Amino acid sequence: MQAVICPECGREVDSDDLYEISGRKMCDDCAMERQNRPQPCDVWAVRIATNTRRSLGMQGTEGLTEKQKAIYDFIKSRRGATLEELMQQFNLKENEIRKEIAILRHCELARAHKRGNEIVYVPWDFEEVIGRSDR
Ligand SMILES: [Zn+2]
């Protein structure tokens, strides 16, 4: 164990807790904050995910991360889930859920759907059954 100073925030941390993110050393807090910040290059992550899946001939949830699969399964089993429900279920921040949903949407697995005054995320091929409530 060795105490070092985080160059980003000046906090004293254990050297094990210092990470190198895009060539810069920083503590876990700074690294976390940086990762949670929405970044324009997320679009590329989505494109790469989609193109990779296509080129590998993947279908359905093939090639998704475990988290993305779990979100998809949850949406499917609930016949739609709100952002809040997903945040609670997966213990993720709003922007993290949005990022995963964006990938599911680009893979044509999930989409946003307006139910009453709420926006719910539903499977891509979901159809609302009017007058039936099986939630
Ligand atoms: Zn720091």
Q: CB 78: neighbour CB atoms within 10 A?
A: 16
Distance 13 CA to ligand 1 centre (A): 8
34 vs 124: which has the higher pLDDT: 124
pLDDT recorded at residue 86: 97
CA pair distance 82, 74, nearest whole angstrom: 11
User: Is the predicted pLDDT of residue 116 greater than 60, yes or no?
Assistant: yes
Distance 19 CA to ligand 1 centre (A): 10
**Segments making up each domain of the chain, as ranges:** 3-36, 62-123
**Identity of the residue numbered 74:** F
* Overall CATH class of domain 62-123: mainly alpha
- Lowest mean pLDDT across 34-48, 58-72, 120-134: 34-48
Residues 31-58 pLDDT 10s:
877 766 555 445 556 666 667 777 777 7
User: Is the predicted pLDDT of residue 63 greater than 90, yes or no?
Assistant: no
User: Is the predicted pLDDT of residue 123 greater than 70, yes or no?
Assistant: yes
Which residue in 47, 49, 11 sits closest to 32, CA to CA? 11
pLDDT recorded at residue 104: 87
Distance 15 CA to ligand 1 centre (A): 12
**Identity of the residue numbered 130:** I
- Lowest mean pLDDT across 40-49, 52-61, 80-89, 123-132: 40-49
User: Is the predicted pLDDT of residue 83 greater than 90, yes or no?
Assistant: yes
83-94: average pLDDT: 95
Distance 1 CA to ligand 1 centre (A): 17
Distance 65 CA to ligand 1 centre (A): 28
